């Protein structure tokens, strides 16, 4: 089996104008994917959505030509959140969903990711088939066999209604003032409408894309803009999405920022409060231990997957569970959607606030996040950290001292000769002392 040359952990991504984010490669990619789809269907159809980057026009045109040249029909949604494309793929019975986005990256990056007909991330085997198809000579169809393309005029409206459908009819957001920050990204024309139509008074920031300002000082990766806007507006809550709107951060009236770990706990505890069964929750290696302890106290198991929403989803599917997520704000509620969705996740949190008659901070009372200290230690050439006796001894000492009140996580960087040492403990000073002790053990 050949290795993947172009696909990373979440599709294909890079700097625009450098391989593979060039028009010639994107045409070849569309053609190669089209040929893979033709193995299962005589006349496949795909939906293509994008975020607000200027380069999206170029990539969209190239992909469209590539698909058409392989005999694949194309529906163009225009700017639409990644989870919106996943929804439309399923709702419109398409064979594939295609998203042009580099998520939380700056505007000069872009990428492509794909969803199956059921609106789910595709397996490695499918990506390998596409890689192999890219290495084969093109097989252009004749004129009569070319694919057709058309625009979906009501894509944003369809997705808006889907998001609203995940909020109970018996509840509303009337009387609630929200600040919505779409990071000048794909949800700029959807997110404000969703919350407004459910009754909220909405003030927006990050909803004026110009092709080059996506994620620039706003959105889930720069939440201070939201914190400031919530205070200035006297809002009850702030909602920050990233460029393709699949991750979420929230802020309350006091300016407190809530990350994905805390919001995941809220989703689980609200389901329990409704009398629903929550057999378990999937986090990642970086999920804060305080959340694990709180869930355990509620009788809910937390299982840790590798970092990345793709791995969280794989673990959820394997176990038949519904809730998962990571601190960055990628939250999965598989009883609502097939993929992570920032707008839907925010609605899940807000309905918990409404249903329970308390604040978001109140829902997290008693859940105090543990300090996490992360040190990057540059390894000397020839040092194998896995067999390093000094590190092993230092780690054993730290873990014995922490017992079940903290965690140690050591992992190598995938891109540079650096070892990442993370210690989590109820006391920040102790966490730093333990991390430094393990880092110093590598110096001998």
Looking at the annotation, which residues are catalytic?
103
| CA atoms within a 13 Å half-sphere pointing along the CA-CB vector of 109 | 15
Helices (H), 39-119: 56-69, 82-91
β-strands 149-151, 73-79 pairing: parallel
The contacts of residue 306 (CB under 8 Å, 6+ apart) are: 284, 285
Q: Taking a C-beta distance cutoff of 8 angstroms, is the pair 259, 282 a contact?
A: no
**CA distances in angstroms from 92 to 77, 95, 97, 130, 356, listed in the order given:** 12, 9, 10, 23, 36
The contacts of residue 200 (CB under 8 Å, 6+ apart) are: 173, 174, 176, 177, 178
Helices (H), 92-184: 124-134, 155-165
Q: How many angstroms separate the CA atoms of 91 and 104, rounded? A: 26
* Residue for token pair 């795909």: 46
């Amino acid at each position: 089996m050949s290795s993947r040359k172009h696909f990373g952990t979440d599709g294909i991504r890079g700097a625009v104008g450098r391989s593979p984010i060039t028009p010639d490669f994107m045409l070849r990619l569309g053609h190669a994917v089209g040929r893979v789809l033709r193995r299962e269907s005589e006349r496949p159809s795909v939906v293509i959505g994008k975020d607000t980057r200027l380069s999206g026009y170029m990539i969209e045109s190239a992909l469209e030509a590539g698909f058409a040249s392989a005999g694949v029909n194309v529906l163009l949604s225009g700017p639409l959140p990644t989870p919106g494309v996943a929804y439309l793929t399923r709702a419109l019975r398409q064979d594939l969903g295609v998203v042009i986005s580099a998520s939380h990256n700056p505007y000069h990056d872009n990428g492509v990711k794909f969803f199956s007909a059921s609106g789910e991330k595709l397996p490695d085997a499918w990506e390998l088939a596409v890689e192999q198809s890219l290495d084969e000579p093109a097989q252009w169809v004749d004129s009569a066999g070319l694919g057709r393309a058309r625009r979906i005029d009501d894509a944003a409206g369809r997705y808006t209604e889907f998001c609203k459908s995940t909020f109970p009819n018996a509840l509303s957001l009337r009387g609630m003032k929200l600040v919505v920050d779409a990071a000048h990204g794909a949800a700029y024309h959807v997110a404000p409408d969703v919350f407004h139509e459910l009754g909220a008074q909405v003030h927006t920031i990050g909803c004026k894309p110009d092709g080059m300002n996506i994620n620039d000082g706003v959105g889930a990766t720069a939440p201070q803009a939201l914190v400031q806007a919530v205070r200035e507006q006297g809002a009850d809550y702030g909602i920050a999405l990233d460029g393709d709107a699949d991750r979420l951060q929230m802020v309350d009236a006091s300016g407190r920022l809530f990350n994905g770990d805390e919001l995941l706990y809220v989703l689980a505890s609200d389901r329990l409060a409704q009398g629903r069964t929550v057999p378990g929750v999937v986090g990642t290696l970086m999920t804060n231990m305080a959340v694990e302890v709180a869930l355990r106290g509620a009788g809910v198991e937390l299982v840790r997957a590798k970092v990345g929403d793709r791995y969280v989803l794989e673990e959820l599917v394997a176990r038949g569970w519904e809730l998962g997520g990571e601190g960055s704000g990628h939250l999965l509620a598989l009883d609502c959607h097939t993929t992570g969705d920032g707008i839907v996740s925010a609605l899940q949190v807000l309905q918990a606030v409404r249903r329970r008659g308390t604040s978001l901070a109140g829902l997290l009372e008693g859940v105090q996040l543990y300090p996490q200290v992360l040190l990057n230690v540059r390894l000397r050439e020839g040092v194998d950290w896995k067999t390093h006796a000094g590190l092993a001894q230092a780690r054993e000492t730290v873990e014995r001292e922490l017992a079940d009140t903290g965690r140690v996580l050591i992992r190598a960087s995938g891109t540079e000769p650096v070892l990442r040492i993370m210690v989590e403990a109820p006391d920040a000073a102790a966490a730093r002392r333990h991390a430094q002790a393990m880092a110093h053990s590598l110096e001998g």
